[in-house]
């Protein structure tokens, strides 16, 4: 049997804390298709691979300066805080 190293998984709550938003905001963005982050689901629980989260953050990294620099300009892919 081959040894398999499982990825570190984050809960929706942990992801929301990392992104500075709410669990509900993450759920809404997934349901609407605006959060392009793969996830695992077991029953009603949702988990995110730490590697996938890091890749997501890397894809949305802003390297320029000034308003509107980079991909995160408040569009559909931006993680917004609720309330």
Residue 4 domain-assigned (yes or no)? no
User: Is the pTM higher than 0.75?
Assistant: no
Residue 52 domain-assigned (yes or no)? yes
73/2 Cα distance (integer angstroms): 45
Residue 35 domain-assigned (yes or no)? yes
- Per-residue pLDDT of 28-57, as tens digits, reads 999 999 999 999 999 999 999 999 999 999
What pLDDT is recorded for position 81? 47
Residue 71 domain-assigned (yes or no)? no
Q: Which domain holds residue 52?
A: 9-59
* Residue 25 near residue 17, CB atoms below 8 Å: no
23/5 Cα distance (integer angstroms): 28
For the chain, the domain total comes to: 1
Q: Does position 66 have pLDDT exceeding 60, yes or no?
A: no
DSSP 8-state secondary structure symbol assigned to residue 40: E
């Amino acid at each position: 049997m081959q040894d398999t190293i499982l990825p570190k998984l984050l809960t929706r709550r942990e992801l929301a804390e990392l992104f500075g938003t709410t669990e509900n905001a993450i759920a809404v963005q997934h349901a609407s298709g605006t959060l392009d982050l793969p996830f695992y689901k077991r029953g009603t629980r949702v988990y995110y691979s730490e590697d996938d989260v890091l890749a997501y953050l890397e894809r949305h990294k802003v390297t320029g300066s000034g308003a509107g620099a980079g991909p995160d300009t408040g569009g559909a892919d931006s993680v917004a805080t609720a309330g």
